[in-house]
Chains A and B, each alone.
Chain A
Amino acid sequence: MIERPNRRRELGGPDPLDRRLGSPATPATWLLSLLRTRSALGLAPSLTPATIFLPLGVLLGPIGLGLFSPTLLSRLDVAVTIALAVLGVLVGIALGRDVRLNMPLLLAASLESAVTIAAVLGATMYFLASTGAPVGAPILAMALALALCSSASSATSSGADTEPVAGIATRVADLDDVLPIVMATFAFAMLPGIDTRQAWVTIVTPVSIGLAVGAVGWLVFERAESGAERGVYVLGALALAGGGAAYLRASPLIVGLIAGFCWTIAPGRADRLVQEDLRKVQHPLVVLLLVTAGALWTPSAIALWLLAPYILFRLVGKVAGAWASAGFLDVAAADLAAFLMPSGVLAIAFALNFRQVLPAEAGAVLISTVGLGTVAFELFSLAVVPHWRRRR
Chain B
Amino acid sequence: MPEREERSGRETRLLALVIVVALAALLMLARFRFPAADLADVRPAQGPLERLVARSTYEDLAASVANLVQRVSSAVVVLQIQSLAPDPATGARGVAPEPPPAVTRLVPGARMAGDLALVHVPSGFQVTGGQGLAVPVEVLRADQDLELALVRAPSVLEITSVLANPFEGFPGFSYVGVVEAAIGGVTAKPTGPPTRGGPIPSSSWAGRPICRRARWSSPWTDASSASPCRSTPTTARSCPPRPCRL
Contact = CB atoms under 8 A, between A and B. Distances in A.
B140 interface: no
B40 interface: no
Contacts of B31: 130
Interface string A68-100: 111110010000000000000000000000000
Interface string B11-28: 110110011011001100
A338 B12 CA distance: 15
A316 B44 contact: no
B3 to A, nearest CB: 11
Interface stretch (A3-11, A257-265, A304-312): A304-312
A323 B35 contact: no
Given A65-B47, A66-B47, A131 B22 contact: no
Interface residues of B, number: 32
B226 to A, nearest CB: 36
Interface string A313-338: 10110011001001000001110000
A164 to B, nearest CB: 16
B103 interface: no
Contacts of B34: 131-134, 301-302, 305
B25 A308 contact: yes
Given A130-B30, A301-B37, A320 B49 contact: no
Contacts of B30: 126-127, 130-131
B45 A71 contact: no
A301 B22 contact: no
A323 B15 contact: yes
Contacts of B21: 312
B53 A69 contact: yes
A316 B18 contact: yes
A75 B54 CA distance: 11
A67 interface: yes
A320 B44 contact: no
A114 B15 CA distance: 17
B212 interface: no
A14 interface: no
B35 to A, nearest CB: 7
B32 A69 contact: no
B93 interface: no
B29 interface: yes
B98 interface: no
A167 interface: no
Nearest to A323: B15
B50 interface: yes
A63 interface: yes
B141 interface: no
Contacts of A63: 42, 44
A69 B55 CA distance: 12
B33 interface: yes
Contact of B44 (A62, A134, A308, A319): A62
A199 interface: no
A376 interface: no
Contact of B25 (A70, A131, A134, A312): A312
A52 interface: no
Contacts of B48: 66-67
Contacts of B14: 319, 334
Contact of A72 (B29, B35, B49): B49
Contacts of A319: 14-15, 18
B4 to A, nearest CB: 9
Interface of A: 62-63, 65-72, 75, 123, 126-127, 130-134, 300-302, 305, 308-309, 312-313, 315-316, 319-320, 323, 326, 332-334, 392
* 7 residue pairs, one from A and one from B, having the closest CB atoms: A66-B47, A62-B44, A130-B30, A133-B34, A312-B22, A333-B11, A316-B22
Interface of B: 7-8, 10-12, 14-15, 18-19, 21-22, 25-26, 29-35, 37, 39, 42, 44-50, 53, 55
25 contacts: A62-B44, A62-B47, A66-B44, A67-B49, A69-B47, A69-B50, A71-B53, A72-B49, A127-B30, A130-B30, A131-B29, A131-B32, A133-B34, A134-B34, A309-B29, A312-B21, A312-B22, A312-B25, A313-B26, A315-B22, A320-B15, A320-B18, A323-B15, A333-B8, A334-B11
